[in-house]
Amino acid sequence: MESIVSTKEFSSGRREFLIKSGLATAAMSFPFSVLPQSLKGVPMGVVVHSYGNRYGSKVESTKYPGFQNALDFMWHCHSIGAGGIQTLVGGWSEDFARKVRGEREKLGMYLEGSIGLPQSETDVLRFEKEVLLAKEAGASILRTVCLSGRRYENFKSKQEWNEFKINATKALQLAEPIVRKHKVKLAVENHKDWKAAELAQLIQSLGSEWVGVTLDFGNNVSLLEEPMEVIRTLAPFAFSTHVKDMGVKAYSDGFLLSEVPLGAGIVDLKEAITLCQKYNPAMTFSLEMITRDPLQIPCLEESYWTTFENPSAQDLAKILRLVRDKPYPNSLPEVKNLSAEEKLAFEEENVLKCLAYSKSQLL
């Protein structure tokens, strides 16, 4: 829990973390020569899920010590040249939020929070407290999701999907007055739940300048939507981003989908960023490079289609052509056979490669 960091621990925490991680002597396996040094505008930031293996890790590693809280995460991201972070705010105390603000201002980084929607009227107090803590730390944009899982895996009937839509709408209706009151923007991610047009319609139905989108560049490939189709649809509503590139490969029940280093996959990143900047010149771009095994998208199985209204054969054909014509040239990334230390090293390498690509090609 981030609220347990004491003043005494904090006073030496940054120094100790950097020494433990070896950054004080650049003792890392990936050369620092590739890291961003000076970027036009704000350098690309990092989403906490880019460090899914390292955040909260209990692995005894000298090179890759676990991030125990948002301060560890922020210090590390600053040390590798990131312009900001998007991180979880649950469990913070007021004192911790102030410490995050102080460090953020000192380092000159942007901060975006990640927050859970209120699931009932009794949950609104929790939600408002987290909004206030994030705002105290300096966040003016809070990313959220309506579904923690995946549409084609979570729901077994159209009734279940329709109930989800009703509950998600109610949750956003509970959240909107709070973010409007405190003048903080709430950004709903396309999180393998909503098709792009569905999310756009949901945001428009709320009619609030305080509720928009966290635009994930790659998630909706899993819903048989081409990345630029999604980005063109959702960019007008976007407050924040999850920048990623995607690799695809065929498998027996459909196709495999993986986050891959920026520039190596099927997303037109330059066009995507240009379009986002057109609608929101102040947009920040945050890397979500998730290091994991490929996801199976079983779009040739009947169960996959349960929740989709009027499924289109053309959409399926379009994605299968994409998989056929632009398969990832190598094996998709895997971590299942790596040791804990190797997973941490691979994760770090992927993040650094992406930031280097951003520096040279994007921002």
Q: Which of 73, 71, 85 is nearest to 42 (CA)?
A: 85
Task: Give the alpha-carbon dihedral of 299, 286, 37, 65, to 10 degrees.
Answer: -80
Per-residue pLDDT of the chain (363 residues; tens, 9 = 90+): 444 444 445 555 665 665 555 554 333 333 333 333 333 479 999 999 999 999 999 999 999 999 999 999 999 999 999 999 999 999 999 999 999 999 999 999 999 999 999 999 999 999 999 999 999 999 999 999 999 999 999 999 999 999 999 999 999 999 999 999 999 999 999 999 999 999 999 999 999 999 999 999 999 999 999 999 999 999 999 999 999 999 999 999 999 999 999 999 999 999 999 999 999 999 999 999 999 999 999 999 999 999 998 888 999 999 999 999 999 999 999 999 999 999 999 999 999 999 999 999 999
Give the helix, strand, coil percentages of the chain, each rounded to 5.
Answer: 50, 15, 35
pTM: 0.90
Residue 199 identity:
L
The correct answer on CATH 1.25.40.10 for the domain covering 2-32+42-144+171-245+258-289+334-362 is no
CB atoms within 10 A of CB 317: 11
* C-alpha–C-alpha distance, residues 86 and 113, integer Å: 5
Contact between 169 and 199 (Cβ < 8 Å): no
Domain extent listing, the chain: 2-32+42-144+171-245+258-289+334-362
**Backbone φ/ψ region at 41: left (φ over 0), alpha (ψ -120 to 50), beta:** left
State the DSSP code for 360.
I
